[in-house]
Chains A and B, each alone.
With several copies, the nearest count.
Chain A
């Protein structure tokens, strides 16, 4: 199981701040595809991804227990 966190407009679009998915051995590209298909979101190319609170490359392989966060372009400060 992996947990996926959503923030800002993604949280609004998806209607939830997190979902839990059965996944393993797949990479972030696969996860993005699953999320965009399921929630009909096509702007995930502008979204950074963090795995366990560190930015991760799209090719990163996800493991059971990972916490993945979708990070839209930030606007703090």
Chain B
């Protein structure tokens, strides 16, 4: 179970342990935490929602993509959903590789892909309101109804 959606606090070490290997010399982790200020606006807390079954499949897909590009790597990703307070951990990505360059690159690849194809949504709660992030700004549009090649492979 290297790819998980959970409603509970994420144990970072547990995710790391999934990628530790005798062939690994480097493990990188990305830990996404809930930040209080975004461009000066104060967040009280966040709420994450996922289309869970599909989200796990898409995390697994990201894992396969990483395996293809960095064959000696191991990857594990856990994303939390539900209510998260400031400094809570929303996502942990751990990647191990024999050499460090690949571990940084593959990890970075994973978080960018999560933000492209994994059906998880974040609602920000402020003192004066709330908003689902990603929709009302409409910085991303999918006129064809699904991610385009460039969205999928950049």
- To the question of whether A and B form a pair in one complex, the answer is yes
Q: Is B69 on the interface with A (CB-CB < 8 A)?
A: no
- State the Cβ distance, A69 to closest chain B Cβ, in Å: 6
Among residues 104 to 154 in chain B, which have CB atoms less than 8 Å away from a CB atom of chain A? 111, 114-123, 132-136, 138-147
> When A53-B54, A74-B119, A76-B114 are in contact, do A43 and B138 touch as well, CB less than 8 Å?
yes
Instruction: Give how many A-B residue pairs fall within 8 Å (CB-CB).
Output: 110
Which residue of chain A is the closest to B110 with respect to CB atoms? A77
Chain B interface mostly:
mixed
Q: Is B53 on the interface with A (CB-CB < 8 A)?
A: yes
Complex CA–CA separation, A55 to B142 (angstroms):
11
- State the Cβ distance, B77 to closest chain A Cβ, in Å: 10
The answer to whether B121 touches A76, judged by C-beta atoms less than 8 angstroms apart, is yes
> When A5-B51, A53-B54 are in contact, do A75 and B120 touch as well, CB less than 8 Å?
yes
Chain A interface mostly:
mixed
Q: Is A25 on the interface with B (CB-CB < 8 A)?
A: no
Total count of chain A residues near the partner, CB < 8 A: 30
> When A46-B142, A48-B147, A55-B146 are in contact, do A76 and B48 touch as well, CB less than 8 Å?
yes
The answer to whether B135 touches A76, judged by C-beta atoms less than 8 angstroms apart, is no
Q: Is B90 on the interface with A (CB-CB < 8 A)?
A: yes
The answer to whether A57 touches B134, judged by C-beta atoms less than 8 angstroms apart, is no
Q: Is B36 on the interface with A (CB-CB < 8 A)?
A: no
User: Interface of B with A (CB < 8 Å)?
Assistant: 32, 48-51, 53-55, 57, 79, 90-91, 111, 114-123, 132-136, 138-147
